[in-house]
Amino acid sequence: MLTVEGLSVRYGAVQALDRVSLEVPDQSVVAVLGSNGAGKSTLLRAISGTHRLHKGRIEQGSISYEGQPVHKMNPATTVALGVVQIPEGRRIFGRLTVDENLRTGAMGAKRSAGRGSARDRVFELFPRLLERRTQRAALLSGGEQQMLAIGRALMAHPNLLLMDEPSLGLAPQVVEQIGEIILEINRQGTSVLLVEQNASMALRVADLAYVLDVGTVSLHGSAEELAATDEVQKLYLGHGAGQQSGAPRAPRRSLTQLSRWSG
């Protein structure tokens, strides 16, 4: 579905990505791990076309989505193709209601006629948003705001969802539920490229994983393979060399179970 080849991105004198290559197969969840400053957010910005808003510049390489080059497209065109990014920190519109936030997500969608079905899907995933639909977004809890950020992106009918640190600042229980939601979204047919510092959650939900280290890919493979390596065990999972985390892949739970998310 998505192919990144030899991508280099620079912000002025800072080399953020250096010849990064990765693939997101159709119907998959792909995780990108790395510490602060590794280039994870820059990767998503380059794919969505928002790197220019941060004064970033693609020096070399290419990005193709379903065989079509997208690295020179503007963000609105990328969204219309079905590639939608959820930015780090949620970035919901606090003065707008939940309903109004969801409507903004449908702007520029490739299928404007399907807004009703998209909203139904969001409320099925997140019953709490249905209860809060007339409430201002600024009054929601952190977990509820993350629900809204995800729901707003789903209003655009994405085929590929780019998620930037969805667990940031959330309680451990809510982080686990975020992982369950990612699996449910994927089960419904949306591919996911997940940037995360919470490696434990990311590797539980992902099929494939990449590790970025100062702008370059240092490791890649299946999520299970990476979770078993000494480097990932030590640097990202908090285990000593050879000590297994024992964290199984998260089950694909039903919507009934997911609806218990209290935020």
Indicate whether 78 belongs to any domain.
yes
Query: 80 is written with which tokens?
Result: 């219309």
In terms of residue numbers, what domain contains 56? Answer: 2-89+161-258
Residue 155 lies in a domain: no
- Is the pLDDT reported for residue 148 higher than 60? yes
Q: Is residue 185 part of a domain?
A: yes
Is 252 within the bounds of a domain?
Answer: yes
User: Per-residue DSSP letters for 194-227?
Assistant: EEES-HHHHHHH-SEEEEEETTEEEEEEEHHHHH
pTM, full prediction: 0.88
Task: Identify the CA nearest to 95 among candidates 54, 44, 136.
Answer: 136
Distances (CA, A) of 155 to 10, 51, 107, 207: 32, 23, 9, 25
**For residue 225, what are the contacts with CB-CB under 8 A and spacing of at least 6?**
none
Residue 44 and residue 195 in contact, taking contact as beta carbons nearer than 8 Å: yes
Q: Evaluate whether residue 263 is within a structural domain.
A: no
pLDDT at 16 exceeding the cut of 70: yes
**CATH number of the domain enclosing 44:** 3.40.50.300
| Segment 80-118, tens digit of pLDDT | 999 999 988 778 999 999 999 999 998 866 555 566 788
The answer to the question of residue 244 being in a domain is yes
Looking at residue 97, the DSSP 8-state letter turns out to be: B
Instruction: Return the percentage of the chain with pLDDT > 70, whole number.
Output: 87
* CA proximity to 161, closest of 171, 144, 173, 149: 149
56 domain residue, yes or no: yes
Indicate whether 146 belongs to any domain. Answer: no
- Identify the pLDDT of residue 110: 59
Q: What is the domain count for the chain?
A: 1
